[in-house]
Structure 1
């Protein structure tokens, strides 16, 4: 949780800085409160790193972190309200649109707004002060400074793998071993270079290292390569350390005190004229120049030398193996039979003992199915059940899921957490927000990027770069880090999915922030802020489902997999109840729904950035209140076949970047669509009567 809080704090601190020194420059009282708020947040941030390490064993620290996360959300709401007021003022006073934000309070009721916001800032600041003061109770928390890259001490993962493996402990990898062995010793002239790279790619816990150990110690491989080297690179990549480990593995010589020149000479002497095999295990760096330099040092070896690279990232595999004709070996999960065999080994010790417990084997089969063929997950849950022969223990694990259990550092969740903790803070929240979508959901990059934008998760490093382009970089980076799979280029966008185990990691990082609702009677934690409904049927006439009755701070409502038959239900009462209730909504997706009237209270959703009512075949008009959504970035109402006329004043949607519409109008000039200067995309669907569209390009 601390990693999530840390990334949230980074984002809020940056926004508070912008706000304090730009938007409220002349509001001294407000500025003073903001500066106090930033100071307290900075102090708290210093201990988050240590809190991350200690929260697993201390319930009080976990509770403290949850309080921090909640108050950071409140601070974001305050910041967003200032931004929304800035946009409103630009619309109210168009002639001031290019002026400095010092005219921020020149709109209607400026004193009332300033007074109200001053009290709100003071209120959240006092709450934060109270929470921050509680850290003195945790005397063991140490201020460790701010590290944006990771909350995990990287060095402890260095040198954690070695070349030996007990063959009998590796199940289901014979075919993979034979295929890689054939690549290593069967083809020696694939390239003009002496050395070629064999990348092995797969998610954490899939058994890349174990497979590589099998290959490395294979009798034929040992005979074929007179010189063998095993190096655990890990994420803390230092060239000199890699060279030292290679030399020590090849010669046994300790060269810790050598400089780079001496290391280069020693390595050349060790490899000159020899056919070698080098394993670089757990590679994270995709710095092409670094790897080209390293490969240059290895070229002194004899023809047919091979480098095996294990990595979680297809990008790393592409960088290191891109000059070869050797294809990447994509490691897949175990078959159900292989998974069960491995499970029996860890849960019972041997098959004979398992046969004495047929009931447990039946439950175990269901548990193994949850592991999705990932060996580390199978081994983890099997070891948890070792020596437990009470059926209730097994049912508890089956019903609660393996990720509800306490994990140790070598179990599947920490193995995947390593990838998460390695991410920069701007990617962490983007990844966590993906938990709002169900397992096996097919993502569309365009939709996901606009979802992230709605929650202000994308920050452009410079003013010349569009947020959409930055978002695409985020998507590609998450894919390169193996958080997304089945990545396909569709031309203008990408589609991809998320492995079930990655989705479990995503949910664990989200804590109670996100919830997928499967029924109207489902209980939802009152701290939930992001809701998605799937396989969900809302009874006709029901105003607010039980699951929503206690919620107030919801930011997301979406129906990502609701069938088109959802239109047959009357959703009017749901819409009428939810829109005025959830004033902090940023993302509202009511596509494929069926209601006739959009309530005028929609104008109160000043934070709303994404609004989709596509494929509503009953709604006939949109209220003028829509034009007051100055924060709106994406507006979709295509497929609304009964929509006769667009609302007046759409030119006031000054933040709108993406518009998808259906209308029966002949001209759109009166609505002001052509004057939305922030527009990046305009999609016209089934606008059969449209004759003219005038677009302002200024």
Structure 2
């Protein structure tokens, strides 16, 4: 971006933040602070607090900060306020602002901005080759290269998108695309011809899905599943009669097809999220016309013609801001965007007066709003298929009328911390496919007859009740469950046959299973029988057992048939004297043992009868084993290959452990020891050790 070369290594603090067209001073300052500290700092609600913290973090440091994609030129005072946080840096600190608007450069006081030119033809061709998967070079490659580079005109995005389009077509069809009349049409829009063509050649189902994305703001990060559930709610995923795929799988096919065509791209943050380039977002808005809108983008007179709309929330959203939606009688999507503010407040009159007017809603998101009570009238939204109430820390119950939403497919209650109960008649929601109740610790039990919801795929937390209608056998008929399943309050299972009826062995798409007992007074014999019958499918990847009161672990735990198991955690299993044979799990990477009060020794039973135990283990943690005294070494092959991949070893609060640690830990890079007064530690045994934290006593 500069004509002179910047030596980035000379800047200890290097960070970047995408500003985009949504310039909110608190949001931008918070994003910079998060980038600087690499921590979640959304608890700061006041700008002054954020700026004070940012100034302290940057004080005396030589930093390099990029404010990317800045558009706003109307808030000069806010820019100067933001810049005041940077004055405490060391001499030589740099701030780079990227923009497509020359007025932004003038506002920032740069009279001679650096303008990026077009990339050379060879570089443009390399980008095209990469995205077109041009492995076998065609005979007329020189002619093709000339055509492609002339069409792309030195623009990387055009080369990337054109490559993504042609990779989906046979080489014999490339001339049809490259000679299309759309390249020569002169229109008033600023949409690149390459982008218009990429949309033109999309199949009709992909056009519908892509166009829906016009409701997303520039640089908005979204997840694959999040978008698929919205598409599904709007009926954009059409299943052919001969297809046997689930709608979610069809959605995943569409999503990945749009990725392969370079219309979606992975976020640079590396967090499994996706974004659309600004020009791609413009393409979606051009294609959508007036059917999709954002409250911030369009004048109010356009909104009544919209079918799908989103908006950026403030800390408090009142009637005046949202009253325009009362005129949008055919609105189907009312989406509060989820990444702009961690939480906020909504005027009660919005839910009581506005909702009854939006009779055609299919998607309703109140993500992050601290609503204490939903009105009963929500049950009159008969077309509703997607309801997001997540990150509401105040709501304690839901109105029974929700049970009348017979078309509801997705109900998101994630992080509703105070929610105690679900509607009693939830079993009426026969079309429900996703009930996300993760992070809802106050939930007392599940509603009765939940097993009637045979389409359920997502149910991360099943709280076992004492009555037969909410018992663990209710999940037996939920054959489509996938992802994570947490069975809590297992002390309420008093008949092992109920556990068998849960049929966990048949749920092949489960990846993570959490088994939790919260009452230590449960019968040790009953707990053992229940654990035996809760054996999951061998494709399971993650297992956590908490509060188990049995004297022994079931034989299926540590069985080598669980060849996909990568993460195991045992915690608070205070009656078991011996650990399972985890050494037999061929792909186990993480093992955490916590709060095992009866374990006195760890030895052969831990390694299992195999020639090469723990061949994949990278992280091993022991914590709060009160009477653990001895850790015996493995005798197989004289210890050769045992823990051969172990990188991190942590032993904390094991006061009676004595002797030495295993010596042949050739891959160990991190060692943490605390509260182990009797243990002998010699870090000279570990050649690869990069970091150690060894304390004699626990604090």
Is the TM value for this pair above 0.5? no
Bin the TM-score by the shorter chain: 0.3 to 0.5
TM-score by length of 2: 0.42
Work out which structure has the larger RCO, using CA pairs closer than 8 Å and 6 or more positions apart in sequence.
1
Give the structure with the higher percent strand: 2
